[in-house]
Structure 1
Amino acid sequence: MGKATLHLVRHAQGYHNLTTANHTLPDPDLTPLGRDQCSTLAQTFPYHAKITHLVASPLRRTLYTTLLSFPSEVSKGIKVLALPEVQETSDLPCDTGSAPEKLAAEFSSGEFAGAVELSLVHEGWNSKVGRWSPASSAIEQRARDARLWLRELAEAVEEDVEIVVVTHGGFLHYFTEDWEGSERGTGTGWENTEYRSYGFVEGSGDASLEETGESRERRRGTERGLTADEQRELRASREREWREKGFQSGEVDAKL
């Protein structure tokens, strides 16, 4: 196995981000501003030439963010692999994905015909029960499963791999095990179309991630990150706040 780098991206602005009333929208699309954000990311992302894989949550806003932000990769034939494990956390309509047959119909024709690989998106992926529930324990488990799956994907290739993963603000805190910024009013420390780069921690049974020095420097300069104790305290505080707001244990605000 060569060196593996994950470039994690939060989706562009969707209609559910505009107002609380839009939280009832099922699997909403990107706004015009969201599409502009994708265009900006396409122009400013510095690693296009190195990308070997594109992975995204199967929600429509993440799929379109990937397709619109990485057009050069798509044009080279790199398909967007939809991975259910990195879907959003809550069970509100805006955070619940579409049925597999609906996604297949949408991405089998038109501008992006054949650009999305849906073989891992099975019936029930959007049920929000059991493995897919908004309980914090379930989210934590599928975040771990997603990291392990991505590490296995990288290990299957002898050369260096650089994988884009487009997902959601709330899920990214579980996925990276980094809760910095989650105390913001939006509930996430990630801006729309923000990207950060990570490598796998060597020897980690959970395939834990460590942000690259270049990525940390770009977004934080010399500012100190949180200690392990501070991370645990911040996570506990956020999950307690979400429970007090009436969400299930570990469920996050749909604005994410």
Structure 2
Amino acid sequence: MAPTIHCVRHAQGFHNLSTANHALPDPLLTPLGEAQCRFLAQTFPSPAAIDAVVASPMKRTLYTALLSFPTALATRNIKVVALPELQETSDMPCDTGSTPAELATEFADKPVDLRLVPEGWNDKRAAKWAPNNKAVEARARDARLWLLARPEREIVLVAHGGFLHYLTEDWAGSDRLCGTGWSNTEFRSYTFAAPSNNNDPASDAHLVETPSSRQRRRGDPTAPDREEQAQLKRAAVREWGAQGYVGVPSAAPGERDVKVKG
């Protein structure tokens, strides 16, 4: 049975306070961000049922996971697994992670598992981590396949506003000024869609928001279909370009490097 994935956008970081703060490298949470985590810890349904917590290796996402899900971490005796595929989409300083050595120092006394974070994971010049649509889509699919293969049944995943659109393939609200339809510490729950190829269950690895999750946040359990999502994505990429989050064209014809703030 495929797991349920509870996706969470990180709490407010200092880079969320102003565009000038986008120059901050791997920023921490603000005091309000820490308070948002404490509120999520009190209001997240059935935290004791969570049997895995996964996060982008950015400091703000790791601290969001630690502060928001202490019950799961303590009662299950688990660690936050840092998964580099979940890092944000742009190469701005605020969206560029710290070295594994710095992360090891920062989280030395905390339940964080950094074994999946390699040297160079924070080099946005590397093809895998490049800030363009093709590369981000590829690592979003890699992340979904990794999640699909997990043995746990209830997984919390903490990531970023821009990347969560790629991961979930849900583009509603992505044309907002902040570049994402996700609010800080907003959470949504997903299951995996039935595969179109029964001989290869991992052939698609698409996430589908649960009706109860959509009902809770939108008052409507009906999700846009794939064509509607494709239209929303095209509109989002155009809007991100208009906001100045588009960089040098990538090697792929017709694609541009998208820099989404989250």
1:138 aligns with 2:138: no
Correspondence 1:174-185 to 2 at 5 A: 174-185=166-177
Give, in whole Å, the separation in 1 of the partners of 2:209 and 2:257: 24
The 1:178–1:25 alpha-carbon spacing in structure 2 relative to 1, beyond 3 Å, is same
Q: Deviations over 1:204-231 (max 9, x none)?
A: 5131011111111101112753332221
* SS in structure 1 of the partner of residue 188 of structure 2: strand
TM-score, scaled relative to structure 1: 0.92
* SS in structure 1 of the partner of residue 149 of structure 2: helix
Aligned to 2:105: 105
Aligned to 1:43: 42
* SS in structure 1 of the partner of residue 191 of structure 2: strand
Give, in whole Å, the separation in 2 of the partners of 1:42 and 1:93: 29
* SS in structure 2 of the partner of residue 7 of structure 1: strand
Q: How well do the aligned residues superpose, as a CA RMSD in angstroms?
A: 1.4
State the one-letter code of the partner of 2:224. Answer: L
1:251 aligns with 2:258: yes
Aligned to 2:69: 70
Aligned pair count?
A: 245
Query: For the Cα contact (< 8 Å) 1:239–1:250, is it kept in 2?
Result: no
Give, in whole Å, the separation in 1 of the partners of 2:19 and 2:245: 15
1:199 aligns with 2:183: no
Query: For the Cα contact (< 8 Å) 1:11–1:65, is it kept in 2?
Result: yes
Deviation at 1:78, TM superposition (A): 1.1
Give, in whole Å, the separation in 1 of the partners of 2:170 and 2:205: 14
Q: Deviations over 1:34-93 (max 9, x none)?
A: 000000000000020210100000000000000000011122311000000000000000
* SS in structure 2 of the partner of residue 40 of structure 1: helix
Correspondence 1:209-228 to 2 at 5 A: 209-222=207-220, 224-228=222-226
Deviation at 1:247, TM superposition (A): 1.7
Deviation at 1:232, TM superposition (A): 1.2
Q: Which moved more, 1:95-104 or 1:211-220?
A: 211-220
Query: For the Cα contact (< 8 Å) 2:15–2:21, is it kept in 1?
Result: yes
Gapped regions of structure 2 (runs ≥ 5):
197-202, 248-255
Aligned to 1:188: 180
Structure with more relative contact order (C-alpha pairs < 8 Å, separation 6 or more): 1
Q: 1:153 aligns with which of 128, 150, 154?
A: 150
The 1:223–1:148 alpha-carbon spacing in structure 2 relative to 1, beyond 3 Å, is closer
Deviation at 1:233, TM superposition (A): 1.6
Q: 2:237 aligns with which of 236, 239, 243?
A: 239
Aligned to 2:200: none
Gapped regions of structure 1 (runs ≥ 5):
none
Give, in whole Å, the separation in 1 of the partners of 2:205 and 2:179: 25
1:120 aligns with 2:116: yes
Query: For the Cα contact (< 8 Å) 2:10–2:60, is it kept in 1?
Result: yes
The 1:86–1:246 alpha-carbon spacing in structure 2 relative to 1, beyond 3 Å, is closer
